[in-house]
Amino acid sequence: MQDILIKNGIIVTADKTLQADLLLVDGTIAALGEALERQGAQVIDAAGQYVMPGGVDAHTHLNLTVGSFKVSDGFYEGSAAAAFGGTTCVVEHPSFGPDGCSLLHQIKSSRLQAEKACVVDFGLHGVFQHVTPSILDEMQMLSTHGVSSAKIYLTYSGRLQDRQILDVLNRAKGIGLLTAFHAEHHDIIDFLSSRFQAEQKGTARYHPLSRPDYAEAEAIYRIISLAEAVGDVPVYIVHLSTAAGLRIIEKAQDRGLPVYAEVCPQHLLLDDACYEDPERGLRYIMAPPARKAADTAALWQGLAQGSIAVAATDHCSFTFGDKLSHGRDDFTKAPGGIPGVETRLPLLFSEGVLKNRLSLHRFVDVVSTAPARLMGLFPRKGHLAPGADGDVILFDPKMEKIITPKILRQNADYSPYEGMLVRGWPTTTIVRGRIVVREGKLLADQGWGQYIDRGPAVSTSINEGERHEKR
C-alpha cells in the first residue's frame, strides 16, 4: 500500500485545530506535524480544506428487510454513499432474524454479506427480538464476536416487555454491553393509529399525530427508570426527537446517571409541516416522525451542550415509490425510514457550524469522535493520532451544492433534503490508508471495508462533568 502524505491542510479534531501535515503509512496514521516529508508517498494537497477524522455513523440500516420491503441500497451502494458523505465507518443495525433465532444469527449473516460488499469499515449492533434464558446466556458471546452494543425496541412486533428489559440490562451490566433503545410507547401509537384508521384519516399528516412527543418521553422515562433499578448500567437512546424526551435525559444526567443520546439530521432539520402535502408527505414517513420547530431548537441546543452525544442518521432508504404505492390511502402501510448516510456531515456542518449552532470541534466530536468512543471503536476510529487507523477525510468548507437525488451517490429516488443549499462537502475519503473516494469517483473495490471488532464503550465528556456550556 502506498504511503499518503496530506499537506497544507487544516487539521481539525474534537479538541484542536492546527496547520499541519498528516502522514499515513501501512493504513495507519504515522505522524502529524509541520513540513513532513516521505519518499515515495502519494502527496495530497489539502490547501483550504479541513483534514478530519472520518465520520462514524452509529446508526445505519444499509441492508434492512422488513416484511416484503427491502431498502434500495444494500451494503455496497449504502457504504459507497457513506464514503461519498465522508463517513469511514458505520455501525449497522441488522434486521430481525427468523423467529426464535439466536442472538448471533443476524450478526453472523450480516457480517458475511457486508464483508463482501462494504467499501467502508463497519461494526454490527446486536438486536433483541425476544428474550429467553438462552438469549440472556448468549449475551456473553457478543463481545467475542466484537459486538459491544445491542438494541431493544419498545415498539413494533419485536418489542420487549419491561421485565425482559430489566433482565437484559442486568446481564448487560455484568459484561459491559451498551444497550440501545428505540424509545416509543407502543400501545399509545397503536391506539391512535387505529383511531385514525377508523376515522378514515389515512393521509401523511396523521403520521406525526399518531406518534406524539409524550409517547417518546414516556418510553425514555421508563428506560431510565428500568436502568436505575438495575443500577449503574449505561443506556443509549437512539434517534431522540423531542424536547420532552431531552428534558428527561438531561434530568437523569444531572443526577449522574449514564444516559446517552443520539440525534439524527431529520430531527434537527425537518418539522411536521413536511407532512402537509398528502403525496410528498409520504416521503417523510419514519419513526420517530419529524416534530415541531421547538423540538428541533431544543435538540440543537442539547447537541451543542453535550447532553446529546452523537449525531447519527438511522439511514434506511425505502423508496418513495414503495411509500407511495403502499401508503397513499393509509400512512401506516408505508415503509418507514429515510436515506441520510451521505448527507450527515454536510448538513451538520452547514446548518450547525455555519449557523453558529455548533463549534467546529463539537461538529467533529458529534459526527466522529463521540460515536467512536461510545461504540467501542476509539482510539482506532474517530481520532487523528499516531497509531489510529488511517481514516481521514478532506472537507472543503466552501464547496456549495444544492441537494438533489442526482448529485448524491446514494441509491435513492429522493432526498428528504431536496432543494437545500448546503455549504461544506467532503472531497476525499480515506479508509485505512486507502483512498476510497476522490473528486467524485469511487476508487475502492467492493469488500475493502473490514469488520471492526468493537470493545466496550468509552464514556463521552458528559460523564466526566465537562458540560460544554452551562445549561
In degrees, to the nearest 5, what angle opens at C-alpha 61 toward C-alphas 60 and 63? 135
In terms of CB distance, is 124 or 388 closer to Zn ion?
124
CB of 286 to Zn ion, least distance (A): 9
Please report which residue ranges of 118-161 form alpha helices under DSSP H. Answer: 133-138
In terms of CB distance, is 49 or 79 closer to Zn ion?
79
For residues 372 and 54, the answer to whether their CB atoms sit within 8 Å is no
Which string of DSSP letters, residue by residue, matches 139-185?
Answer: GGGTGGGT--EEEEESSSTTPPPHHHHHHHHHHHHHHTPEEEEE---
Strand ranges inside 342-454, DSSP E: 392-402, 421-431, 434-438, 441-442
Strand ranges inside 73-137, DSSP E: 87-92, 121-124, 126-127
Contact residues: Zn ion, CB under 5 A: 314
CB of 470 to Zn ion, least distance (A): 32
In terms of CB distance, is 66 or 209 closer to Zn ion?
66
Closest alpha carbon to 320 in 219, 235, 415, 210:
415
For residues 59 and 313, the answer to whether their CB atoms sit within 8 Å is yes
CB of 336 to Zn ion, least distance (A): 9
CB of 308 to Zn ion, least distance (A): 16
Closest alpha carbon to 368 in 403, 397, 344:
344
CB of 90 to Zn ion, least distance (A): 12
Q: In what order do the strands lie in the sheet with 87-92?
A: 55-60, 87-92, 121-124
CB of 319 to Zn ion, least distance (A): 17
CB atoms within 10 A of CB 459: 14
CB of 442 to Zn ion, least distance (A): 25
The H or E element containing residue 193 is helix 186-198
In terms of CB distance, is 182 or 409 closer to Zn ion?
182
Name the residue whose CB lies closest to Zn ion. Answer: 314
In terms of CB distance, is 184 or 314 closer to Zn ion?
314
In terms of CB distance, is 121 or 314 closer to Zn ion?
314
In terms of CB distance, is 314 or 391 closer to Zn ion?
314
CB of 294 to Zn ion, least distance (A): 24
Q: Which amino acid is at 4?
A: I
Closest alpha carbon to 330 in 365, 367, 282:
282
The H or E element containing residue 65 is strand 65-66
Neighbour-count burial of 464, counting CB atoms closer than 10 A to its CB (0-12 exposed, 13-18 middle, 19+ buried) = exposed
In terms of CB distance, is 60 or 253 closer to Zn ion?
60
In terms of CB distance, is 124 or 364 closer to Zn ion?
124
CB of 324 to Zn ion, least distance (A): 22
In terms of CB distance, is 314 or 351 closer to Zn ion?
314
Secondary structure (3-state) at 236: strand
Q: Which residues does 413 contact at the CB level (< 8 Å), separation at least 6? A: 72, 319, 320, 321, 405
Expressed in angstroms, the distance from the first to the final Cα of the chain is 48
In terms of CB distance, is 71 or 437 closer to Zn ion?
71
Neighbour-count burial of 163, counting CB atoms closer than 10 A to its CB (0-12 exposed, 13-18 middle, 19+ buried) = exposed
Strand ranges inside 312-440, DSSP E: 392-402, 421-431, 434-438
CB of 323 to Zn ion, least distance (A): 16
CB of 211 to Zn ion, least distance (A): 14
